[in-house]
């Protein structure tokens, strides 16, 4: 798992975050994978790309989940730059022999309609271009309900974590069951 605060359980106990819930789901389903959560709060795609080669070498994953881009968007960084970084992470992961799940993100409309559209579309375009799995929107079913957010209105609270897991699980399960 290579992500940002949305996957590092920012503001809640790590054992209550969606990645920890994923570990429990794997045990429950009797699917034999270990999970390494290399997520860092505040991470942008450039930082994720810089850290990925070492993580791939150290852990030799069969599956890499990339949940990055939200902080690029919140900082208004160019979508093309974010896409290049994500594409490089996908390529590095595949070259290391891993199957890849890209987790999509959306940003609030206050960044302008063009940027908002381009940002959201980038994830699907990357998944198609690189023939990788896609979880279209991590916060599906959460983003529109302020009760599922911490007081900062950015980070999902503990009650939202099972929904985040389900949003990823649907796209991840086929990768876990393929050879």
- What amino acid positions are annotated as catalytic residues? 5, 152, 155
Cα distances from 86 to residues 15, 24, 29, 141, 143, in angstroms, run 27, 28, 30, 24, 23
CA-to-CA distance for 174 and 130, rounded, in angstroms?
17
DSSP β-ladder status, 133-135 and 63-67: unpaired
CA of residue 160 relative to chain centroid, distance: 15
């Amino acid at each position: 798992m290579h992500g940002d605060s949305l996957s590092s359980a920012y503001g809640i106990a790590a054992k209550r975050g969606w990645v920890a819930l994923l570990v429990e789901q794997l045990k429950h389903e009797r699917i034999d994978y270990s999970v390494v959560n290399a997520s860092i709060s505040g991470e942008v795609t450039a930082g994720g790309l810089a850290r990925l080669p070492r993580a791939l070498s150290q852990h030799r994953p069969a599956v890499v989940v990339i949940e990055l881009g939200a902080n690029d968007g919140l900082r208004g960084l160019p979508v093309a730059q974010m896409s290049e970084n994500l594409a490089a992470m996908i390529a590095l992961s595949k070259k290391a022999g891993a199957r890849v799940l890209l987790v999509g993100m959306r940003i609030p409309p206050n960044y302008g309609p063009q940027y908002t559209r381009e940002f959201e579309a980038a994830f699907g375009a990357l998944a198609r271009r690189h023939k990788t799995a896609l979880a279209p929107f991590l916060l599906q079913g959460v983003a529109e309900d302020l009760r599922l957010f911490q007081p900062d209105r950015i980070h999902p609270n503990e009650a939202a974590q099972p929904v985040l897991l389900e949003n990823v699980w649907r796209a991840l399960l086929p990768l876990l069951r393929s050879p």
